[in-house]
A and B are shown apart, each in its own frame.
Chain A
Amino acid sequence: MRKEVLVIGGGATGAGVVRDLALRGADCVLLEMGDYCHGASGGNHGLLHSGGRYAVKDPSSARECAEENSTLRRIAPFCIEDTGGLFASLPGDDPEFGDRFERACRETGVPVEELSAQEALAEEPGLSTDVTRCYRVPDGSVDPFALVQANVDDARANGATVLNHCRVTGMEVDGGRVVRVDYVNNRNGESGHVFPELMVNTAGAWAPQVAKMAGVHLAMGLDQGSMLVADGRHCRHVVNRLRPPSNGDIAVPNHTSTILGTTSRPASSPEDSGVSEADQGLLLREASRMLPGLRTVRVIRSYGGVRPLLGGGGREASRSFAVLRDEGAENMLTVSGGKLTTYRLMAEKVSDQACRVLGIRAACRTASEPLGPPAEGGGMSIAESRLTRKYGWRSRDIDTGDARVICSCEQVLRSEVVHALGGEDVLTMADVMRRTRAGMGYCQGMDCSLGVLELMVRSKGVDPRQTLLEFLSEREKGLELASGDQLRQELLRRHVFQGVYRLGGGA
């Protein structure tokens, strides 16, 4: 296909770019090798940054976050939970850090307010009673899958072609320009070609690999971060540790669970996202200091993400971003660095540059065009709110007349899965899971996978064995460190799938 713009990489940045450009009338296509949010966009703690975490060490990032925080709340309220955020220090933490923090927040435009320990405990009863100082900031909790899907949907509605499960396999470069990009559809093996006028490389941690295909060397740091999914919501706010950025200093309430994060170590490749047992221990220990109720929590899952960082990487690297262009492939713009909260801004900057190159005069509209409705208010019931959080406007299309629940851990209706399977992006069980949350709960799909598979066989005629095995091994990746009741759950899961059905494991 001949296109004005080819976007490679369907994380938040890529989805944001294709939406921005589509709204400006560009003819574009996006190729994502896995499902959207395959990389760092799908491996983070879901924090909608207030900027507080960067105010002291990375003021330019903090400024960007502060602005985009309110923009995203305006355009994508459905997938954002207005939890608010707290920064709390405990005995042993640098007592002066609070002052530096407050000053830095004010300087970077991050709204900040100090609370007394009493006020903090009143607002967040689960907080350690040892809390010494506390500040409130406008952190939020965001569902990256819902956010990115909304960008994809809007891009399509404005004429863009967006394809997941399509991996770029090679490029032809001629006279310093990429003239042809080859790709293969992972699901059906079909191959295709794109003849782009301009390419935008938003492949995140894979950006150097994509650049290499165009003959361009891209220096990028890869940094792995670990997270734990703790069962239940153990805090009302996002709770951060009020001390210089370190491991295990954040807890984010997200849907039915609490995400505990995070760590930082160099990653050898984009796939090097594994969580170590030491990481798991550290995250639980540190989070329990802030929220003592977490000491006995059931950890459902561990997962990691590989962050693409500017330059050399490491915890000290800036989380800001850059748009790069190399004369080796002068029609390729590469986005490097960045974070989920500033995706729209990153997309705007690179789209501005792309439009200059293409001669498109339309201005960016992504800061004002909504991606979905609010998920609360207007007399919405809790059930309606839950659906709106996941599907935005599309929650109207779900048949709530059929009360059958397919995933009881997450209370996902059978009709939600039916609805999801109607989408062209949904080809694997994990695709269903990311959109509906079926399989994300405490049984990690033991109960619902066969129900989802049944619906997939009926509507998409998939190979049941391969489809199920793929999902089981995907779930198993995060269960290797299962302990306590989750270990008992894992034993039962394996008894059923490996022991009875002879699927998965080494069996």
Chain B
Amino acid sequence: MNSDRCIKCGSCLRACPVLGDARGALFPGPRATGVDAPRFPERADAGPSALMCTMCHACELACPSSITLTKAMLRLRSELKGQGPSGHLRMRENVMATGRTVSADFDEWVEEGNDILYFPGCIGLGRLTSMTRAASSLLTSLDIKHDISSRALCCGSPLLKVGALEEAANVKRSNMEVLSAYRKVVVSCPGCAYQLRTEYGLEAKHMVEVLRDLPLRSRAEGRWALQMPCHLKRGLGPWTAEDLVGILERAGVELVRIPEEDVCCGGGGGLPSGFPELAASMARSKVRAYERAGVDGVITACPFCCLNLRREGLRVLDISEAVSLNE
């Protein structure tokens, strides 16, 4: 950890979308959690408000000293030992009971021994089953045969975000038995992709990476803006983020680019379950920006973004719902 490189420029504070939200004033901020807390034990004791972070990486990107602020935030969370908002506690209880942060509302399993697995993730199985169906049928139409395994549990990424290290290790163990049988895993969630690649060492591809060079056409009539997922652009990488744009443009989607597309929507880091009012407030800011742009809806490539923005009444399509095979 390199938090001793800090030169107090405050760039991280100005980049933070939580501090920039009207409801974020209780959040100590990236500097307090990433630089002060490691040096001052009483700061680490700051209580649940230190968790009001969406893990969007904007602070880390803005830091001229390249301080690993996200790692510091994760470290803080791992030291929580069970403290935290009630929503996080519920998440852990769900995992203990079902292996997923949210109980599955899906049963169209495909267990045919294909060598590719489509991994919907907790949100895909529990809250956005429409996205899961859309992704699966899109893959099928593109001749990408795949399983959807009932034994695939939470990837563990949300658990790390709330400091549930043991639960994350448990699901990883169970998952490895299932996932290692496949040659490739395809996901709709950039968080899952990042987790499966870095923590599991698996060949995990996000839908954007799968769809990149395929012949597609638009299913999205009208004018659309982008919700650029934080964990796609800053997690997986800026080239994959550009590929999302490329896929949509080549498919003929009328894309309206606005600077706010990159701003975190408030859907990540355990925010919607831990601090729902803050997550909603951040989502509303994005909705206002999209309204100003005068678009018919928003396309994204992350189930957390999709869910959080839909909750504020915005019309949101996942990438798998926005395109189809161009025969």
Chain A residues near B (Cβ < 8 Å):
231-232, 256, 298, 381-383, 386, 408-409, 411, 442-443, 446-447, 485, 488-489, 492
Contact = CB atoms under 8 A, between A and B. Distances in A.
Given A411-B40, A411-B43, A485 B65 contact: yes
A185 to B, nearest CB: 35
Contact of A443 (B7, B42, B65): B7
Given A443-B7, A485-B5, 7 more contacts: A256-B39, A298-B4, A411-B42, A442-B4, A443-B8, A446-B8, A485-B65
A381 B44 CA distance: 13
A489 B42 contact: no
Residues of B in contact with A, size category: 10 to 19
A447 B6 CA distance: 12
Give the interface SS of chain A, mostly helix, strand, loop or mixed.
loop
Interface in B5-31: 5-9, 31
A64 B290 CA distance: 76
13 contacts: A256-B39, A256-B40, A298-B4, A382-B40, A386-B42, A408-B8, A409-B8, A442-B6, A443-B8, A485-B4, A485-B7, A489-B7, A492-B8
A298 B67 CA distance: 14
Interface string B265-291: 000000000000000000000000000
Of listed B8, B31, B35, residue having the most chain A CB within 10 A: B8
A408 B7 contact: no
B30 to A, nearest CB: 12
B5 to A, nearest CB: 5
B8 A411 contact: no
A447 B45 CA distance: 23
Interface of B: 4-9, 31-32, 35-36, 39-43, 45, 65
Given A382-B41, A411-B43, A488 B65 contact: yes
- Point out which of B4, B5, B7, B65 has the most chain A C-beta atoms below 10 A from its C-beta: B7
A489 B8 contact: yes
Given A442-B6, A443-B7, A408 B36 contact: yes
A408 B31 CA distance: 9
Nearest to A445: B8
A168 B155 CA distance: 74
Contacts of B39: 232, 256
Nearest to B5: A485
A492 B36 contact: no
A386 B42 CA distance: 10
Nearest to B41: A382
B4 A447 contact: no
Nearest to B6: A442
A408 B4 contact: no
Nearest to B31: A408
Contacts of B40: 256, 382, 411
A258 to B, nearest CB: 12
A488 B8 CA distance: 11
Contact of B7 (A383, A411, A492): A492
B4 A232 contact: yes
